[in-house]
Each structure stands twice: as C-alpha cells, then as structure tokens.
Amino acid sequence: MGFFPDEVILQILARLPVKSLFKTKTVCKLWYRLASDKYFVRLYNELSAKNPMVLVEIYDSTESKSSLICVDNLRGVSEFSLDFLKDRVKVRASCNGLLCCSSIPDKGVYYVCNPMTREFKLLPNSRERPVTRFYPDGEATLVGLACDLSRNKFNVVLAGYHRTFGHRPDGTFICLIFDSDSNKWRKFVSFREDHFTHMNKNQVVFVNGALHWLTGSCSYILALDLDYEVWRKISLPDAVSYGSGNRVYLLESNGRLSLIQISDAWMKIWVMKDYERELWHMVDSVSLRCIRGLVPGIFPITQTGEYVFLATHKQVLVYHQRSRVWKEMYSVKNSATLPLWFSAHAFCSTIFPCD
C-alpha cells in the first residue's frame, strides 16, 4: 500500500478508533510519521467531533463503585474507566474528546483528561482562586470546558456567585478561566442574576469561541465569550419562549447552537443557522407517538445532523431522523442507580492532547 498517496492513507487512519489508530501507526515509519503529524491530529479530531456519543455514569450502590459507559450509534456500547487519574472523580463537562472532572474527596481539585489516550492534566491551584467562596457550598455553579480544535488549546471555566463571610451571596458573579496555553487562571467579576437547573449546568455548548448555557425557566441563553471575557444573553426563538409548558434543552448541532423542545406529543429541533444575527430555524418536528409512555422522563443529550440521542431513567435511545426510527441503544440492568439522564454528557472520542 505504499503506492497510495499520503492523503489517502491519512483518510484511512482517520477512520480508525483511537486504540486501533495507536496500534496501526506502528506498522511502518511512513504511517507513524503521518499519524503523528499536526495536520492529521486535527483531521482526526474534526472527523470524530462529527460522531458524538452519549457518556453516562452507572453507579452501583452495592459495590459503591461507578463506571462510565459510552453509547455510540455505530460501535454500540463500551465501558471505560478514569482510574488513570488515581482519584475518585465526577465528570463536570465534556468537549471535543476532553473531560473536565472534579475530585470527589478534594473539593476544588479539577482535572482535564482525554479518556481515550489516558493523558490528563491536574489543573493548578491558584492563589487567585477563592475556591471556598463560591455560593452556596464552595463549588462553582457553572463548569465549562472549551476545546478549540483549530488552535489546539483548551479553557476551563468555573463560575458562580460570590459568598461573603456571612454566607450570603452578594450579587457578584465570579468567573475563573484557565488557559492551557499559559497554564494559568485569570479572573473577572460581573453582576448577574441567573438561575440554572441541573440539566442547564450539564449541557454547556462550545461554539463560535464561546461557552453557552441555557438559563432556568428558559428565558435566554447565557454566553461567555472567552477572548473578550464578556457575558451576553442570546434570545430563544419566539415560539419557544412563548410556548408554555414545554421542556427545552440546549445542545450542539454540527458546530451550531441547537434547542430541543419537548412537549407531550412533539419534539422540535431548532438550530441557530446565523450566529451573527442570532437567527433560529426549526429544522425538524418529531412525533413522539411511538415512545409516548417514555415522554415525561426523556431528555435529549446529543445529536448529529441525522440522529438524536436521548436518555431516560434507565435507557439511552437514538432517533434516526431520515428513517423516523427509534432504537434503544442501551439499558441499565440493575435497579440501584441514579437516572442515566442525570449524569449524561455528549462525548466524542478524539486524540486532543491535554498535557
């Protein structure tokens, strides 16, 4: 196969799962060189980012142990472990193949890791970081991870209300940003009055150089521009704001902001096709007739242009838009577990470096 153009070899290697890739690149010097090239890493990551999966945590109370399950449309279900961190952690954010995890025993200790390559970075402590001053319990309200595939760097954001010595919030909103290029934290303060539900906190989206969170009671999306350190509000489509009683979730769709609205009988998918002008388009309206019984407990987690992944208490489902077929991809066997949607994150398997 040495007579193939390098570009073809790169395209073939880019379609291998991470472990396969690492083994395969040792076939000969040419393949090793090609697979280690910066251009290839970016090609691989961009291709992988188009194949999002669902990551859920299964907690086995009998063994007091939790494990991570990854559900993929093409490759099915696989399990992986974050044991290489040598700490008990909780996944707080996921972006382009990296995970940001907080230590369970050590409050304020955060890691950024790539579970596929097992690289990780313990984020530095900083005297700037008033960890114990977040309201209400010392933990940041918002945790965001922004992995920039083109600039090959990442940012971690910890944001929350400031707690005074009297344990009351004083209205100031502290935002700490870690930059992998400088390996330092920086801080800025603003005044905000936003509220976030559990799902709002879990579903943070990084597009167009900004991190986005949907706010509680679905009033607007809060966006943090990482370069300019500015918070701004993005409005929801009118039909979503004024459609009372629907549940709304923020997801990504091929590099764009997307909202999924769930009512009794319908799931509507919106995408912000024009970010500059904040214009939304409804791209699909899906009847929920055939999963009627599951609707109250179903939460959308991630999507491609063709599939939507959702989680319920015990299952991960996928909906294929073109064929209009629903499929169960995974279900939990034992009963002692938190609902899957509680810990579900969008995830894709990349070779994004993090040390």
Measured from the CB of residue 151, what is the shortest distance to other proteins in angstroms? Answer: 27
- Judged by CB, which is closer to other proteins: 10, or 146? 10
Joined together, the tokens standing for residue 23 give: 């083994």
Q: Match 């800025």 to its residue by tokens.
A: 188
Distances in Å between the Cα of 183 and the Cα atoms of 150, 166, 186, 259, 268 are: 18, 33, 10, 33, 41
Question: In the complex, what is the shortest distance from the CB of residue 324 to other proteins, in angstroms, rounded to a whole number?
Answer: 4
Query: Between β-strands 89-95 and 76-80, what pairing exists: parallel, antiparallel or unpaired?
Result: unpaired
**Residue 47: is it exposed, middle or buried by C-beta count within 10 angstroms (0-12/13-18/19+)?**
middle
Q: How far is the CB of 74 from other proteins (least distance, A)?
A: 11
CB of 108 to other proteins, least distance (A): 18
Q: Which is nearer to other proteins, 150 or 335 (CB)?
A: 335
* Residue nearer to other proteins on the CB measure, 125 or 331: 331
Report, in this order, helix, strand and coil percent for the chain, each rounded to 5: 20, 45, 35
Select 72 or 146, whichever has its Cβ closest to other proteins.
72
Structure tokens at 118: 């097992």
Work out how close the CB of 208 gets to other proteins at its nearest, in angstroms, rounded to a whole number. Answer: 27
Smaller CB distance to other proteins: residue 29 or 38? 29
CA gap 84, 118 in Å, rounded: 7
Alpha-carbon separation of residue 307 from 242, 314, 319 (angstroms)? 27, 20, 5
The contact set with other proteins (CB under 8 A) reads 1-2, 4-5, 8, 11-13, 15-17, 19-20, 22-24, 26-29, 32, 59, 61, 118, 136, 197-199, 244-247, 263-266, 285, 287, 289-294, 296, 313-315, 320, 322-328, 331, 335-339, 342
In whole angstroms, the minimum distance from the beta carbon of 331 to other proteins comes to 8
Angle, alpha carbons 32-350-7 (nearest 5°): 45
Which burial class, exposed, middle or buried, applies to 143 when counting CB atoms under 10 A from its CB (0-12, 13-18, 19+)? buried
Q: In the complex with other proteins, which residue's Cβ is closer, 84 or 188?
A: 84
Nearer to other proteins by Cβ, of 275 and 307: the residue is 307
Measured at the alpha carbon of residue 80, what is the angle toward residues 345 and 20, in degrees to the nearest 5? 110
C-beta of 300: minimal distance to other proteins in Å? 14
